[in-house]
Structure 1
Amino acid sequence: MLFTSIASAVVLAASVVAQTPVGFVPAANKTLDVYFGTTYITPGLMIKKSYIDVPGQGSTKRTTVLHALLQDYTPGSTIQNGTSVLTTKATGPSSYFGPAPPAETPKHPHNYVFLLHEQPANFAVPSSQRSVVQSRMGIDWVKFMADAGLSAPLFANYMQVQSGDNTIRGLDRLFE
């Protein structure tokens, strides 16, 4: 399985109504259970200090930031919420880097999206996508999927985040 994310988290596959942000493409019709420690991330949950869509450098136009692109997920022996925890030893093609949302006035909720795709045999980042995966800025996930031969995501989930929001206390340590 190929997991695209913006965070390092325990992920599980569950058959529930999926959530991705309104207008986000690609969408999935099954929810990816995501846990930070023992905290379950319900689709659309507002938390502190994380992001995916941020103003581009020198611009007020919003763009997409790739926080992680990990592959080779397999079901582990641990069961949580009735499903197997997916694990990987992979640190790439794009290793995880932590969030650091900028302070904004007015505050703007950022979407932090988790997608789980079926991984094709011999998956590799296509040459047409290597520079954007390396830079992590402005990735067009629909184009990446087409270039990489990925089908629609099997599972998805997301969080909403704005800098300085303390909606869930304790999670902020995970994002600093």
Structure 2
Amino acid sequence: MVGKSVFGVGALMAASVTAQTAPDFPIQVSQQLGVAYGNNTVSPPGEKFPRPETANPPSINFSPSTPSPSTSRAVLLMVDTEVPQNNTRVQLIHWLATNITLSTTTPLAIPSPQPVPYLQPSPPVGDIPHTYSFLLYPQPDNFSIPAQYADLAQNRIGFNVTQFVADVGLTEPWAGNYITVQNLTG
């Protein structure tokens, strides 16, 4: 019996080490991205945040593990996977920032303008808690956003993170994290 308990605890610990994005998120990441709203750092991943605390964009911190990144620029995505639409749940892009320069300074400097400016998490009142996943990718040389995404900032709902990543030529993400937000008061 003790063996099963030790194994169970070990499996839970291993899962918590590798689960930096939500369990049902289509892209999984093993390295944690530093995300902080004000003085509140997202730790552990999936921490529930009050909606008012998410009014402004979070600060993003990234300390690359070895080997160090081969590029000095990054792409940041923030996606809600639980937006209700026609009796189903779809994705909505909350933030797309490009040309983020990696450096030893923390937090990372997010340049302006951004292709898709930060949008505060705002689940419908009384809906289930929504999951907001953050992904940091290496930005390829000559990176550009294809024409089919030109109006992404105006048409955020129905976003498909997996398709977008493939269409823009992103590789494996460096790091990720996620929060949950529930709107109980409006």
TM-score (norm 1): 0.71
Bigger helix fraction: 2
Match for residue 44 of structure 1?
46
Match for residue 93 of structure 1?
115
Residue 120, structure 1, aligned to residue 149, structure 2 = no
One-letter identity of the residue aligned with 1:73:
I
Which structure has the bigger radius of gyration?
Answer: 2
One-letter identity of the residue aligned with 2:47:
L
User: How many Å separate the matches in 1 of 2:122 and 2:163?
Assistant: 26
Match for residue 13 of structure 2?
none
Match for residue 96 of structure 2?
69
Q: Is the 8 A contact 1:75 1:85 kept in 2?
A: no
Residue 109, structure 1, aligned to residue 138, structure 2 = no
Q: Is the 8 A contact 1:73 1:87 kept in 2?
A: yes
3-state SS in 1 of match to 2:162: helix
Structure 1 residue 17: Cα displacement: 4.1
3-state SS in 2 of match to 1:34: strand
Structure 1 residue 153: Cα displacement: 1.2
User: How many Å separate the matches in 1 of 2:181 and 2:121?
Assistant: 10
Q: Is the 8 A contact 1:64 1:138 kept in 2?
A: yes
Structure 1 residue 77: Cα displacement: 5.3
Match for residue 179 of structure 2?
159
Structure 1 residue 19: Cα displacement: 1.3
Of 150, 156, 162, which residue of structure 1 is paired with 2:170?
Answer: 150
Structure 1 residue 75: Cα displacement: 3.3
For residues 103-144 of structure 1, the C-alpha deviation after alignment (integer angstroms, 9 at most, x for no partner) is 12xx41210111000011122211233344540111111111
Match for residue 129 of structure 1?
149
Where has structure 1 moved over 6 Å in runs of 4 or more?
A: none
One-letter identity of the residue aligned with 1:152:
E
**RMSD (CA atoms):** 2.3
Q: Is the 8 A contact 1:47 1:159 kept in 2?
A: yes
For residues 45-100 of structure 1, the C-alpha deviation after alignment (integer angstroms, 9 at most, x for no partner) is 011226822112xx22111111110011123554xxxxx42112233211112232
Of 76, 83, 93, which residue of structure 2 is paired with 1:54?
Answer: 83
Give the share of equivalent positions with the same residue, in percent.
Answer: 33
Q: Is the 8 A contact 1:18 1:155 kept in 2?
A: no
3-state SS in 2 of match to 1:150: coil
Structure number with the bigger relative contact order (C-alpha 8 A, sep ≥ 6) is 1
